[in-house]
Amino acid sequence: MYRVLLATLSELCAQEIPPELKSAAPSGVRHNSWLAGRLLLNRVISPLPEIVYGDQGKPAFAGDLPLWFSLSHSGDHIALLVSDEGEVGCDIEVIRPRNNWRSLANAVFSQAEHCEIEQEHPAQQLDAFWRIWTRKEAIIKQRGGSAWEIVSVDSCNPLNLHLSHSHRAGLSLAVCTPTPFTLAADQIESVGEEK
C-alpha cells in the first residue's frame, strides 16, 4: 500500500492544532513545515506514534510499526508518501525559474540525465530539470542519505528501486519506492482546497 497526500502549509497550519503538537513544534523557519508534516501524518495514522531520526536525519516511526514515510515541502506545498512496503522517498518542488539551472545540472546530473534534458524542446527543458531534480531527491530520501550525495545519484538508473513522477499545477512530484508504484493523478489525495 502506498498513499500520497498533497496539501499546503498555510491551510494545514490554519487548522486547529492539537496542543501536544503545538508545544512540540520547533520555533523558527521549520515551525510551519514541521507542524504541517505532523498534521498530514496524523491523517494517515492516529494517534501519531513517536518519531525518531536516523543518522542522516531521516524520520521514522519508533518501534516495530511496519509503516514508512517521507515528507517534502517546497514553498507553501507539502507532500507525504506513506508505505507498508518498505522505505520510501518523495520530493516536491515548485517549478520555478532558476537562473543557474544549467550550471547546477552540469555539476550534479549524470550523462543520461543530461541526455534526457537535451531531448526536450528548449521551452520544456526547465521542466525536465525539475523532473530530474525531484527524482534524484526522492532517491536520496528513500536511502536516508544526505543532499550532498545528489551528484552520485543517477535517476535514470535507480538500482532496484522504482521511480514515478507527476507534474501537476506547477509542481514536480517524484516518489521512490521499493516495489512498483505509478504516481497517477488518482493516486494523489488532496488535503484541503489543494487541487
pLDDT (tens digit, 9 = 90+) per residue, 67-97? Answer: 999 999 999 999 999 999 999 999 999 999 9
Residue 63 pLDDT greater than 90, yes or no = no
pLDDT (tens digit, 9 = 90+) per residue, 145-169? Answer: 888 889 999 999 888 899 999 998 8
**CB-based contacts of 173: which residues, under 8 Å, 6+ apart?**
4, 6, 79, 90, 91, 92, 134, 165, 166, 167, 183, 188
Q: Cell triple for residue 115?
A: 541526455
Name the helix (H) or strand (E) containing 177.
strand 171-177
Q: Cell triple for residue 147?
A: 543532499
Mean pLDDT of the chain: 93
pLDDT band of 18, cuts 50, 70, 90: confident
Residue 118 pLDDT greater than 50, yes or no = yes
Residue 3 to residue 26: CA distance in whole angstroms: 26
* Adjacent-strand bridge partners of 176: 89, 163
Residue 16 pLDDT greater than 70, yes or no = yes
The percent of the chain in helix, strand and coil, each rounded to the nearest 5, is 35, 25, 35
pLDDT number for residue 56: 82
- Residue 167: CB atoms within 10 A of its CB come to 14
125-143 and 111-118 are packed helices; what angle lies between their axes, rounded to 10 degrees?
A: 150
Residue 195 pLDDT greater than 80, yes or no = no
